[in-house]
């Protein structure tokens, strides 16, 4: 007779495996990156600092008319902005995970893993900020309203943990998607490549935990909370996806990219497809959890992250 593991048993097995991997395969921001090696130096005009081809600005007339030095500066500024935004997001994530862990009972299987993840996120924070410091650029990270709203996210870890872990996926999945694309191009600067490889390897565990948590937790929720999640998910993914996928307004202003070209670039089918692709995994997860129905599917489309093309001039065209 074949016995099938319960969701709780599967969760415990997964968490135990992730904890062991965190012990066996972890990185230190300063021991595992040779920051002062000559090959890691950031030199103005280095073509390896140009942005990844998935950046919609790369396809504008403004970018094509720039000199190699200007292209590299834009790419470096864009990368610094992504890393600053990345560690600010991970700061919110760490605070939420600590809040969630605070209420766990003795013997909770996830307690140990959550602290492994918090430690890894701290290493990522140091790694990202060290890179930003070495660029000499004033990367500002998240827009001020989102930074202010971050104080509302942390309590979700206690009062609405399923929504909090959707927030985790909304920030981490798009970045993971873009970093993998950039590495596939094979043209990244050695320092950028090293940081990305460390981040991708460890974020794979973080994403795995969030998904397994949601697969265990969401089916246990009542109809009211499930409906709330079904409505909140596409809005959350649409807003956070833009923050992570599209260039920050602060970078575009600093580099003096014409607004008309920015609007045209972000309204292009290529840019909208990039956003949809970056959120394909969390969208698929929501489908598996039964959170996408006839009504909410329309909301995914309105936010520009559904299975089909986003409406022209709609949410997908907005500049973060």
- pLDDT value at residue 44: 83
CB atoms within 10 A of CB 253: 11
| Coil, helix or strand at residue 301 | helix
Condensed to tens digits (0 to 9), the pLDDT of residues 17-70 reads 999 999 999 999 999 999 999 999 999 899 999 999 889 999 999 999 999 999
Element (H, E) at 300: helix 294-302
Question: Which residues of the chain fall short of a pLDDT of 70?
Answer: 1-3, 308-320
Residue pair 19/116 in contact by the 8 Å Cβ criterion = yes
- Which residues of the chain form beta strands (DSSP E)? none
| Coil, helix or strand at residue 124 | helix
Q: Which domains does the chain have, with CATH numbers?
A: 9-18+35-317 (1.10.620.20)
Closest to 57 in 3D by CA, of 255, 287, 306: 255
Condensed to tens digits (0 to 9), the pLDDT of residues 99-130 reads 999 999 999 999 999 999 999 999 999 999 99
- pLDDT value at residue 96: 98
- pLDDT value at residue 1: 56
Q: pTM for the whole thing?
A: 0.93
Tokens 């990367």 correspond to 139
- pLDDT value at residue 31: 98
- pLDDT value at residue 7: 83
């Amino acid at each position: 007779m074949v016995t099938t593991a319960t969701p709780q048993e599967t969760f415990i097995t997964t968490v135990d495996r992730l904890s062991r991997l965190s012990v066996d395969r972890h990185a230190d921001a300063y021991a595992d990156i040779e920051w002062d090696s000559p090959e890691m130096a950031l030199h103005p005009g280095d073509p390896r600092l140009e942005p990844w081809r998935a950046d919609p600005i790369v396809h504008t007339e403004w970018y094509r008319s720039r000199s190699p030095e200007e292209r590299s500066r834009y790419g470096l500024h864009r990368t610094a902005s992504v890393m600053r935004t990345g560690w600010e997001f991970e700061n919110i994530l760490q605070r939420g995970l600590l809040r969630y862990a605070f209420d766990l009972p003795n013997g909770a299987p996830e307690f140990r893993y959550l602290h492994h993840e918090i430690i890894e996120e701290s290493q990522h924070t140091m790694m990202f900020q060290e890179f930003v410091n070495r660029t000499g650029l004033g990367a500002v990270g998240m827009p001020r309203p989102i930074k202010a709203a971050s104080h509302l996210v942390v309590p979700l870890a206690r009062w609405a943990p399923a929504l909090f872990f959707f927030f985790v996926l909304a920030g981490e999945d798009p970045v993971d998607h873009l970093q993998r694309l950039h590495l596939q191009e094979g043209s990244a600067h050695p320092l950028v490549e090293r940081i990305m490889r460390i981040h991708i390897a460890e974020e794979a565990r973080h994403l795995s935990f969030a998904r397994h948590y949601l697969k265990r937790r969401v089916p246990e929720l009542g109809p009211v909370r499930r409906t709330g999640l079904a409505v909140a998910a596409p809005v959350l993914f649409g807003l956070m996806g833009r923050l992570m996928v599209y260039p920050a307004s602060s970078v575009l202003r600093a580099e003096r990219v014409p607004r008309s070209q920015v609007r045209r670039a972000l309204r292009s089918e290529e840019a909208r497809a990039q956003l949809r692709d970056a959120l394909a995994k969390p969208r698929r997860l929501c489908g598996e959890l039964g959170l996408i129905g006839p009504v909410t599917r329309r909301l995914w489309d309105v936010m520009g992250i559904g299975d089909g093309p986003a409406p022209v001039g709609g949410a997908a065209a907005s500049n973060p």
